Amino acid sequence: MKDIDIVIFDIETPKEMFLIVIYDPEIDKYFRFEISRRRNDINKFIRFIERYDDVFWVGFNNIRFDAQVVEWILRNYEKWGELSGQEIAEMIYQKAQDIIDDANYNIFPEYREEQLSLKQLDLFTIWHFNNENRRTSLKAVQFAINFENIEESSIPFDKVGMTDEDMDDMIHYCDNDVNATYALYKITRGDTDIPNFKGKDKLADRAIMEEEFELKCLNWNDVKIGAEWNKLDYMKLTKKSEKDLKPEKVNHFYGKRFRQFFPKTVKFQTSELKKFVRDLGNTFVLNKKQEFKFDFSQLEKYIKNK
C-alpha cells in the first residue's frame, strides 16, 4: 500500500473542558485545541479541519466515539457564537455522555461511517478489539506493546471547578494517548520489531481488497472481511443479490411485552418480586425514541429491606 496522509488524534471530554490533540507525523508536530473557561479554540479548530479534510484521521474507537463528537461539533458550532467556552464544553460533555450511554446499550451511533466529514481509520475495529471476547482498552494495548509511558487520568470527568493544573494534566494525558495510538498504528502497518507483526501491513491488505472486490473494508476486522468475501463468492455462484440474502420480514421486539422474553425456568418466591415481575412483564418494550416509564421504587424498597 502506498503511503497515505494521516493524522493521529484523540479527544477528552471532561465536563469543563473539551480537548482534541492531533499529531501530524509527516511534519512531526502536535496541534492542540481546547474549549474551556480559559480559552475557546472552536474557530481555530474549524480552520484546521479545512486544511486537513482530505487525510485519514487515525484513532482508537474513533468511529463510535471521537469522530461522533467531532461530527456533532462540525454540524452545530455555528449556533454557539454567543456561548462561553465553558458553556460549550459542558454541552459537548453531555453529548459525549449520551454517545457513551448509547454504546453501552448497543445503539447504533448517530452518524454512520460514510456520513462522517473526516475519513477515519479506527485501530479499535481493525484489530477486532470491539469483539466482546477481545474488548480491549488503549491502556491494555499500551501494556501489551510495552509502551514506555502508561497513564490513567486522575481527574474525574464530571469534576466541577477544574484548575489550570487539572487542564494542563489533561493535555499531557491526551498527548500520551495520541503517542500510544501512533505506536499501534505503526504496528498495524508492520513497522515494528514484534515478530508476529513485523512486515505485515494490515492496511495494505485491506486496500487491495477494496480495489479488487470493492469492499469498503479499511476499518473491518479480519473476521468480517472473511465473512463478506465468502458472501460475495456465494452471490456470484448462486446469481443472487444482496437483497436476496436478507429476510423478507424482520421481527422486532419493540411493541411486545417484556414477559415474552422472561425465562420460563425462573420462579420467584416472595410476593414483592412476583408483583414486580408481573408488573414489568405487562410493560411494553419501547424503541429508543420513546420514553420508558416504570416505577422501580417498590423493588428498591424490597432490596433495601433485605
CATH number at residue 190: 3.30.420
The residue range of the domain holding 300 is 258-305
Q: Which residue has the higher pLDDT, 222 or 152?
A: 222
Examine the domain organization and report whether 293 and 182 are in the same domain. no
Number of structural domains (the chain) is 3
Examine the domain organization and report whether 26 and 63 are in the same domain. yes
Burial of residue 113 (CB within 10 Å: 0-12, 13-18, 19+) is middle
CA pair distance 205, 209, nearest whole angstrom: 7
Q: Which residue has the higher pLDDT, 249 or 292?
A: 249
The distance between the two most distant Cα atoms of the chain, rounded to a whole number of Å, is: 69
Per-residue pLDDT band at 79 (split at 50, 70, 90):
very high
| 218-232, 264-278, 281-295: segment of lowest average pLDDT | 281-295
- Name the CA radius of gyration of the chain, rounded: 23
Cell of 290: 420513546
Q: Which residue has the higher pLDDT, 212 or 247?
A: 212
pLDDT given for residue 117 in this prediction: 97
Contacts 24+ apart (CB under 8 A), 137-144: 138/60, 138/61, 138/177, 138/180, 138/181, 141/60, 141/180, 141/184, 142/180, 142/183
Examine the domain organization and report whether 71 and 30 are in the same domain. yes
What average pLDDT score do residues 134-158 get? 84
| 158-167, 180-189, 204-213, 242-251: segment of lowest average pLDDT | 242-251
Q: Is the pLDDT of residue 200 over 70?
A: yes
**What value does the mean pLDDT of the chain take?**
89
What DSSP designation does 107 have? P
253 inside domain: no
CA pair distance 152, 144, nearest whole angstrom: 15
Examine the domain organization and report whether 95 and 156 are in the same domain. yes
Contact 58, 180 (CB under 8 A): no
Q: Is the pLDDT of residue 168 over 70?
A: yes
pTM, entire model: 0.80
What average pLDDT score do residues 6-27 get? 98
Per-residue pLDDT band at 293 (split at 50, 70, 90):
low
Examine the domain organization and report whether 291 and 220 are in the same domain. no
Helix, strand, or coil here: 274?
A: helix
Examine the domain organization and report whether 176 and 275 are in the same domain. no
Per-residue pLDDT band at 132 (split at 50, 70, 90):
confident
